[in-house]
């Protein structure tokens, strides 16, 4: 039985997008309540009846969350241009080695706008 699990996290952070034209509103410093969806996918353990423990997803994501929460994202190495797309890739690169079943990272900076990265 192939299954997919989705676990959602939230962090608060400030950013600005320095490569945009000066008049663009996202060029100014502002904040978001970012939502991150961590998606794992694979074959369920037939005996346990689950793919993996949600707590293991939380444990793998926690050190990454601590680097992001209540931070100015532009000050983090690799996030000098912290679009949602770049943040999704940055999270993927740090999480995939610890979470081999990782299949997708979703980063939402508002309720209606999100970036999805599936590797590659």
Which residues form the catalytic set? 26, 70, 109
Q: Can you read off the two tokens belonging to residue 120? A: 């590659």
Tokens of 20: 């945009």
User: What is the residue-wise DSSP string for 33-58?
Assistant: EEEEEEEEEEEPBTTTTBSS-HHHHH
Residues 40, 60: Cα–Cα separation, whole Å: 12
> 21, 120 in Cβ contact below 8 A?
no
């Amino acid at each position: 039985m192939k299954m997919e699990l989705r676990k959602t996290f939230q962090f608060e952070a400030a950013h600005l997008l320095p490569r945009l034209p000066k008049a663009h509103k996202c060029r100014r410093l502002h904040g978001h309540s970012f939502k991150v969806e961590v998606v794992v996918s694979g074959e369920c353990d037939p005996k346990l009846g689950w793919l993996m423990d949600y707590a293991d997803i939380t444990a793998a994501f926690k050190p990454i969350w601590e680097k992001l929460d209540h931070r100015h994202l532009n000050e983090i190495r690799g996030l000098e241009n912290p679009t949602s797309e770049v943040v999704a890739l940055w999270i993927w690169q740090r999480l995939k080695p610890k979470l081999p079943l990782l299949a997708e990272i979703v980063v939402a900076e508002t309720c209606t706008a999100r970036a999805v990265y599936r590797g590659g």
